[in-house]
């Protein structure tokens, strides 16, 4: 499928390819839909195997950000920036300042912040070239680490799953299989332990697992490939996407899937497969919206209490989605999509109301 065909099929408005010879910057800016407002989405840096892989990631993530913004009540559309490079070796001040210049050419059509492979310090450099960067350190006037509210929102989402399935919000005594101990996963673990959950963990970096198990003797560590086979109440993907697929779903021994990873379903039909197996799925772009809520609030003038209250509302939003799924007998990802699409459609209709200048 050609690029324009793909954009037409999925509703993307704009794709910008950026190259800077001096710094070696290779970046793709994907803007999906700006009906609700300027696109908002993180900037990811990753050593993709091919440029096609980088483009695919940008397009998929931009679309999911539109749905995330709409579902969580933000006045933003969806976008994504990917930098094709190794974050361990290719970062530099000139590279991120070049990125800042390219983002600036779009005049605010997209606002971006940290994602996989990027951190707050990177965008202190980029912000020197254009103002369209968020998630900056607090000492630079930003809202700080978005992983904190993301993890908080995922925990609230797990509590909603527990309420829907077992009639109580507490996770006390529930077993959670946590896949990934990065920025979000490590913070989510703390919430789970405080809530009384039993946790089994894994990570591609074994030293993280060892450190967690040493600090928390009740936590069990397993090899990455074994996490799918763990008997548990909730399976929580908190690393990269595409982990729910034809190979892994039949191995799951859980009642619910609730985690922070983006694009957890390898394909939409895998949401149907979870539904057919009776596994409750908390749609990823709903449960992991805490970071987006934070940076959207930062644009308004960051208020930590307000952002936390908005993130806590993920609990009620998921209960609404689960109720729609049950009533209409559709998978939860379809119920969530319908809510998001309705909000975009209604906002689009408002544009037909003339406002004199």
Distance CA 246, CA 19 (A): 37
Contacts of 131 (CB under 8 A, 6+ apart): 104, 108
Compute the distance between CA of residue 155 and CA of residue 144 in angstroms, rounded to an integer. Answer: 19
Secondary structure of residue 21 in the 3-state scheme = coil
The active-site residue, picked from 68, 80, 183, 310, is 80
Residue-wise over 9-26: b if at least 16 C-beta within 10 A, else e? Answer: eeebbbbbebebeebebb
The answer to whether 237 and 264 have CB atoms below 8 angstroms apart is: yes
Clarify whether 80 is annotated catalytic: yes
Residue 29, CA distances (Å) to 23, 108, 109, 120, 303 in order: 17, 13, 11, 19, 29
Beta strands in 215-282 (DSSP E): 220-221, 234-237, 256-257, 280-281
| Pair of tokens at residue 66 | 């539109």
Nearest to 45 by CA among 86, 79, 4: 86
Return the active site residues. 80
């Amino acid at each position: 499928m050609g690029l324009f065909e793909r954009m037409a099929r999925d509703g993307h408005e704009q794709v910008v390819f950026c190259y800077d010879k001096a710094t070696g910057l290779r970046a793709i800016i994907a803007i999906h839909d700006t009906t609700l407002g300027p696109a908002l989405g993180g900037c990811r840096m990753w050593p993709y195997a091919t440029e096609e892989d980088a483009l695919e990631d940008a397009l998929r993530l931009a679309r999911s950000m539109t749905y995330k913004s709409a579902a969580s009540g933000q006045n933003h559309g969806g976008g994504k920036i990917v930098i094709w490079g190794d974050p361990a070796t290719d970062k530099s001040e000139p590279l991120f300042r070049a990125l800042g210049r390219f983002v600036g050419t779009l005049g605010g059509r997209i606002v971006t912040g940290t994602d996989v492979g990027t951190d707050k310090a990177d965008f202190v450099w980029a912000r020197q070239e254009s103002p369209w960067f968020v998630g900056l350190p607090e000492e630079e006037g930003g809202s700080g680490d978005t992983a904190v509210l993301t993890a908080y929102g995922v925990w609230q989402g797990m509590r909603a799953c527990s309420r829907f399935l077992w009639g109580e919000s507490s996770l006390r005594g529930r077993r959670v299989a946590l896949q990934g101990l990065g920025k979000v996963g490590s913070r989510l673990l703390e919430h789970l332990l405080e809530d009384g959950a039993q946790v089994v963990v894994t990570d591609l970096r074994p030293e993280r697992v060892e450190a967690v198990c040493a600090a928390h003797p009740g936590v069990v560590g397993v090899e990455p490939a074994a996490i799918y086979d763990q008997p548990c109440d909730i399976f929580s993907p908190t690393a990269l996407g595409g982990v729910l697929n034809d190979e892994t779903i039949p191995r799951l021994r859980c009642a619910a899937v609730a985690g922070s990873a983006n694009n957890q379903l390898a394909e939409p039909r895998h949401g149907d497969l979870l539904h057919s197996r009776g596994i409750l799925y908390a749609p990823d772009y709903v449960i992991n919206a805490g970071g987006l809520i934070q940076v959207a609030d930062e644009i308004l003038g960051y208020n930590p209490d307000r952002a936390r209250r908005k993130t806590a509302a993920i609990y009620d939003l998921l209960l609404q989605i689960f109720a729609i799924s049950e009533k209409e007998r559709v998978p939860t990802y379809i119920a969530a999509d319908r809510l998001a699409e309705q909000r975009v459609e209604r906002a689009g209709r408002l544009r037909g109301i003339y406002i004199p200048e």
